[in-house]
Chain A
Amino acid sequence: GAVVSQHPSRVICKSGTSVKIECRSLDFQATTMFWYRQFPKQSLMLMATSNEGSKATYEQGVEKDKFLINHASLTLSTLTVTSAHPEDSSFYICSAATGDNEQFFGPGTRLTVL
């Protein structure tokens, strides 16, 4: 199947700093990518939909100024957590859809904010 990568896989940062997470579709182009957040032992919750060449669409309750999304190319979307705080610590997962209605997920990025 199609491969989606994320970088970094783990990141630890100090409170108040910003962290950028990359999501890449390695062998297909994705006009739409999705960013999810997963708290321990919970399901995935959609944060935002990232559209290539346009602004991201954020879910209710997700601060767009805190979680900046850029989808500059058909194979790359980035999520920047600005001024991170301990409550932002979570597992962030991106996905990308192929033309065959399959959605493939990245391996996730575990963010720990001290």
Chain B
Amino acid sequence: GEDVEQSLFLSVREGDSSVINCTYTDSSSTYLYWYKQEPGAGLQLLTYIFSNMDMKQDQRLTVLLNKKDKHLSLRIADTQTGDSAIYFCAEGDTGRRALTFGSGTRLQVQP
């Protein structure tokens, strides 16, 4: 079945770059997503990438996709304390089907 894995925790200093990694197993994944969840809140869609792309940049966020290795990463440049949250990667084959989520990576930004 589908499986999405992430490391559980990442700590960085304010101003540094953060890189959150994710691996997935479903080769039919069409879209790969990054969501942010702050304590007690729902999920905020940060960005998503189509599987035929290898990079997508949106302001401070850069998504890299290695489809051969089924590896996805999210780079946050100039990380701020407000970026502290849990980041989930998720995969899906179309927008009409439910997503499979990773376990989430807790990002802690030290001032």
Contacts and interface: CB of A to CB of B under 8 A. Distances in A.
Interface of A: 1, 6, 31-32, 34, 36, 42-44, 46, 49, 93, 95, 97-108, 110
20 contacts: A32-B96, A34-B98, A36-B98, A46-B100, A95-B99, A99-B95, A101-B30, A101-B31, A102-B45, A102-B48, A102-B95, A103-B33, A103-B92, A103-B95, A105-B35, A105-B44, A105-B45, A108-B41, A108-B42, A110-B40
B94 interface: yes
Interface residues of B, number: 24
A31 B96 CA distance: 9
Nearest to B99: A103
Taking each of B31, B42, B88, B95, which has the highest tally of chain A beta carbons within 10 Å of its own beta carbon? B42
A94 to B, nearest CB: 9
Interface stretch (B12-20, B53-61, B71-79, B101-109): B101-109
B10 interface: no
Contacts of B33: 103
A46 B98 contact: yes
Contact of A97 (B30, B40, B96, B103): B96
A44 to B, nearest CB: 5
Contacts of B96: 31-32, 97
A101 B47 CA distance: 12
A101 B99 CA distance: 11
A9 to B, nearest CB: 9
B43 A97 contact: no
A46 B101 CA distance: 9
Contacts of B40: 110
B42 A105 contact: yes
Taking each of B44, B94, B95, B104, which has the highest tally of chain A beta carbons within 10 Å of its own beta carbon? B95
